[in-house]
Amino acid sequence: MSFTFPDYPCVGKGPAIYTLTQVKMDEYAVTFPGVDVPFEVRKAWQWCIDTRAKRKTFGGMPHFLNGWLTKAQNQAGAAGSRQPAFIDYSEMQRQADRKRRAAMLERVCSSREIKGTTEATEA
């Protein structure tokens, strides 16, 4: 299924439709790396369709979408979905160190068990 850019209905004196462009989608994808941008802009579009009383003006649509994606980015970081909103490299380093220590401990324990087994059979 390919992505089609939704036309957002608008209120006020400006144009009645705000069309999202590929350029804007690309900007959003770079700005919000932890967000499935096509999915979120489709959700925002559905909200605009369903919530007539709170529709935005043509000029307010970029601000509305930025706010929507910012909220999605923050929730993605909290829920750990695609990618954290803020990457804590020190935590990543600690996790890698824990894995290395666990693997080393496993190797040491395995070698002791092997030696213990052979020593027991020799005695």
DSSP 86: S
Residue 1 has what pLDDT? Answer: 46
The residue type of 80 is G
* Whether the predicted pLDDT of 62 surpasses 60: yes
Domain locations along the chain: 1-87, 88-123
* Whether the predicted pLDDT of 81 surpasses 50: no
Q: Which residue has the higher pLDDT, 123 or 106?
A: 106
User: What percentage of the chain's residues is helix, strand, coil (to nearest 5)?
Assistant: 65, 5, 30
Q: pLDDT class for 69, splitting at 50, 70, 90? A: very high
Q: pLDDT class for 22, splitting at 50, 70, 90? A: confident
